[in-house]
Amino acid sequence: MIIIKNIRQLIGIAPSETLRKVGSEMNDVQSINDAFLTIDDGIIKDFGESSRCPLPSGKDEIIDARGGMVMPAFCDSHTHICYAGPREREFIDKINGLSYEEIAARGGGILNSADLLHQTSEDDLYSQTMERVNEMIAKGTEAIEIKSGYGLDTQDELKMLRVIRRVKETTPAVIKSTFLGAHAVGRKYSGRQDEYVDLVCREMIPAVASECLADYIDVFCDEGFFTTEQTSRILQAGAEYGLVPKIHANELACSGGVQVGVAHDALSVDHLERTTEAEIEVLKGKKTMPTMLPGASFFLGMPYGRAKDYIEAGLGIALASDYNPGSSPSGDMRFVMALGCVKMRLTPEQAFNACTINAAYAMGVSQSMGSITKGKRASLVVTKPLPSLAFIPYSYQTPYIERIII
């Protein structure tokens, strides 16, 4: 057993039946001051006030938190970290005034990453992806969803998903994989978008399913990418193989993507930089988690999602990094939390819940991650002594992690 003692604040406690937080619950972060926590076989066994801290036996390992906080590790429910190299040249194009859509329309963007991925070996892709996973773990993230979508033909999509599977098997972090064949139309299918959708439905999905390579299915349902009709077809084809949707919607326009996602029982609908009342209305009472990616808004200079309006309407929201080479080259969930507070006016408690329990829900792991709960994985961050939870997004660059428990 591991005993963590001298915890000044144990933060993010939730009962096991809480799988997500909605509306006013998002302001609630339960904590115990002056606490201990015990871990048995990687699982949280017990916690409480220090007066109840068990006396160690010879076999127990003691971790002295020395007055720091202990909190659940971040979950990052939306990333594209399986990519074959950065795209900093497009960053310069953007500085010089080109938009994300203009770069994509010139054959850059996602297609650039697909060309590079095609030339990259599986081993190299694996090392690059693992490097990013390790970078994220060091910043306090211990569950990561990773999408395909830079293959854009059957062989290369499978190559990506096999690499993600290898990552899943070799990292101590929890990994979920998502098939995103419909991220863009592959170069060979340029101008033949419907044929590409046929390929996704008839060839890619069955191939992915036959090797059990994906937990989820995603489509970039947005202006200039895939229509709502095409998205419906793809999600339908995925459903035949039990693939649950998590989709990209409303990044570039009010695309109707949220409505399609909800109609197909999506676990999450992600981006949502553009929202009208219709999107908020359709999400009410549904199991779909609206997920916002403020790192992409920051990097592309887009509007930030209307997180407050969602919460006021009684919905929960999750925040994720969208870590990818084009629109969000960072997997730092603390920065995401800070953007949530500064740019979306979330309280630190709302941002914290959005990056932990709700993010865990949005990737289907909230039974075992995202809060301090007996029986959940001991995926924890021990901090240096901090004045309060608000300090984390406030002083967003000050090193605060003392130790990662994974």
Instruction: Name the residues that contact ligand NIG, by CB under 6 A.
Output: 80, 109-110, 113, 220, 248, 251, 296, 322, 324-327
Strands, E assignment, 169-274: 174-182, 216-221, 244-249, 268-271
Shortest Å distance, C-beta 112 to ligand NIG = 8
Beta carbon of residue 270, minimum distance to ligand NIG (angstroms, whole number): 7
Give 74's strand partners. Answer: 141
Q: How far is the CB of 314 from Fe ion (least distance, A)?
A: 26
Nearest Cα to Cα of residue 85 among 150, 147, 181: 150
Q: Which stretch binds Fe ion (CB under 5 A): 156-164, 236-244, 283-291, 320-328?
A: 320-328
Cβ closest to Fe ion, residue 324 vs residue 383: 324
CB of 339 to ligand NIG, least distance (A): 15
Nearer to ligand NIG, 316 or 326 (CB): 326
Work out whether strand 69-72 and strand 380-383 pair parallel, antiparallel, or are unpaired.
antiparallel
Measure the CA–CA gap between 182 and 150, rounded to whole angstroms.
10
- Look at residue 246 and give its three-state secondary structure: strand
With beta carbons less than 8 A apart as the criterion, state whether 389 and 57 touch.
no
Q: Is 43 in a helix, a strand, or coil?
A: strand
Q: Which are the contacts of 29, defined by CB distance < 8 A and separation ≥ 6?
A: 11, 12, 349, 352, 353, 389
- Closest contact distance (angstroms) between CB of 285 and Fe ion is 26
Residue 153 or 322 having the CB closest to ligand NIG:
322
Segment (H or E) for 36: strand 30-40
Q: Which does 109 bind (CB under 5 to 8 A by kind): ligand NIG, Fe ion, none?
A: ligand NIG
Tokens of 256: 């109707």
The residue from 215, 222, 322, 332 that contacts Fe ion (CB under 5 A) is 322
Choosing among ligand NIG, Fe ion, none, which partner's interface includes residue 184 (Cβ < 5 to 8 Å by kind)? none
User: Which residues in 385-404 contact Fe ion (CB under 5 A)?
Assistant: none
Decide: 39 and 4 in contact? Cβ < 8 Å.
yes
Q: Is 251 in the site for Fe ion (CB under 5 A)?
A: no
Please say which residue, 190 or 210, places its beta carbon nearer to ligand NIG: 190
User: At its nearest, how many Å lie between ligand NIG and the CB of residue 326?
Assistant: 2
Say whether residue 218 binds Fe ion (CB under 5 A).
no
Would you tell me how many other CB atoms lie within 10 Å of the CB of residue 291? 30
Residue 211 to residue 161: CA distance in whole angstroms: 10
Nearer to ligand NIG, 251 or 332 (CB): 251
Which entry of Fe ion, ligand NIG, none binds 220, CB below 5 to 8 A by partner kind?
ligand NIG
Residues that bind Fe ion (CB under 5 A): 322
